[in-house]
Structure 1
Amino acid sequence: MNRLIFFFVGLITILSCGRDKSNFNIKGTVNGPSPETIYLSELSENGVVLRDSTEVDRKGRFQFKGYTPLPSFYL
């Protein structure tokens, strides 16, 4: 039993190493009165830069998908 668990933990670790870490997927829900559009901005050396926007559905859900080559701060 312990060997089986060790095998699966090792397999998951190896498979996760090959994933592209530069892709991101942000999902969320807005409670209460929700805006029609949500904005994703990056905090850069030049100030706050608008990077993306997405619409909020009737249930308050939104989603951003994208790619970033380097880590950064987003608002």
Structure 2
Amino acid sequence: MKNRSLLSLVFGIISLFLSVYGIFFGIVGLILALYTIRNDKNTEQKGRRMAIGGLATSIIGAGYQVVGIVVILLTA
């Protein structure tokens, strides 16, 4: 349980810093976080908080990368 939570948080943080591949890491982190939050009802509070952090960073990272790519495509 905590492994998936930590992995979703790590993928979310990685998605913030990588340029094009950040989208893929963000999507993987988002899927892992949603899976952990929905299926593991009996997880301890720390694992759930890490999964929520992974969800937030994955959404921000993937969204940031999508906006960056759209801006690059529109200005080219």
TM-score band, normalised by shorter chain: under 0.3
Q: TM-score scaled by structure 1? A: 0.28
What TM-score comes out, normalization by structure 2 length? 0.28
Higher relative contact order (CA 8 A, sep 6+): 2
**1 or 2, which has the higher helix percentage?**
2
